[in-house]
Amino acid sequence: MKKFLTAAFYKFVDLSDFEEFKPKLLACCEEHQIKGTILLAQEGINSTVAGPEAGVHALLNFLRLDPRLADLQHKEAWSDKPPFHRMKVRLKREIVTMGVAGISPTRRAGTYVKPTDWNQLLQDPEVVLIDTRNDYEVEVGTFNGAINPHIKTFAELPLWLEQTQALRTESGAKPKVAMFCTGGIRCEKSTALLRERGYDEVYHLEGGILKYLETVSPQNSLWQGECFVFDERVCVGHGLVPGRHKLCRACRMPLADADQESALFETGVSCPKCHASTTEQQKTGARERQRQWEMGKIRVTRDVR
């Protein structure tokens, strides 16, 4: 039986007292053995946490006691191993960093499209489909026909949207645009940005890729590959089953089977994506950290026995 419940959730809402909210939230997480990360900003909350089922539900109940978060939605997944090892509650300017002032998903965002209706939207030849995630995420998997902006961070997307030829038509009219991301939060902002720039027909996948993979069967899916997630599962497939990709502990990039079989791959030290960017001294330090981590893991296993 899988022991650890992961809950991912976010909500754009005015949290003017977010700084005062932090210690209460951290205390609740510690009381219920919750690990993970919660971001708080005046514009809302964004989080992925994990722990015992009762503890995770206690945290969600605590959050929903606040009238502003009463309708907070979350996604669940199970794992045999703890996805996180620390609990962090961080205060931020934005719960997802875009860096464009005045963009408010609560005031103006795109039209939500349910996962069951997403395929039908993508069959419209006039729709421009944009993957709003970072390049390493897109490399792992994406929707058939989606445009990859080749961005390193979400903050690079506004400039790309301004400059790309993909959003320019011969008539000068603004095209229909469909956007998607992992859980939906980045699309809340990116569609709000396009609406501010005068795009009237802007759509985004409700619940993100994760909800699509949870809802749509593999036989009817337009998704190709796996979906990168920001926890120890690394990637998931349909049914949110953990995928085959692993994580490079040195650069935090997802690794396919071929990457792990490369001569440049060394657990905790390097992979084909980062081997050339670190010195031998840095690799030596990484080897020592990996050795210490493995020794600590052995000690914990003996203590449990």
- In a structure prediction context, what are the per-residue pLDDT tens digits for the chain, which is 305 residues long? 568 999 999 999 999 999 999 999 999 999 999 999 999 999 999 999 999 999 999 999 999 999 999 999 998 888 888 888 899 999 999 999 999 988 989 888 899 999 999 999 999 999 999 999 999 999 999 999 999 999 999 999 999 999 999 999 888 899 999 999 999 999 999 999 999 999 999 999 999 999 999 999 999 999 999 999 987 788 999 998 888 898 888 888 899 889 999 999 998 899 999 999 899 999 898 898 888 877 776 654 455 44
The per-residue DSSP string of 129-151 comes to: EEE-S-HHHHHHEEETT-B----
C-alpha count within 13 angstroms, C-beta hemisphere, residue 65: 9
Distance CA 81, CA 170 (A): 53
Q: Residue 181 catalytic?
A: yes
pLDDT at site 70: 97
Distance CA 233, CA 241 (A): 9
pLDDT at site 304: 43
Please pick, among 29, 181, 248, 271, the residue that the annotation labels catalytic. Answer: 181
- Helix then strand then coil, in percent of the chain rounded to 5, is 40, 25, 40
Q: pTM for the full model? A: 0.83
User: Helix axis angle, 115-122 relative to 208-215, nearest 10°?
Assistant: 100
pLDDT at site 297: 62
Confirm if 135 and 151 have CB atoms less than 8 A apart.
Answer: yes
User: Which domains, and CATH codes, for the chain?
Assistant: 4-91 (3.30.70.100), 111-225 (3.40.250.10), 247-305 (no CATH)
- 10 Å CB burial of residue 179 (0-12, 13-18, 19+) is buried
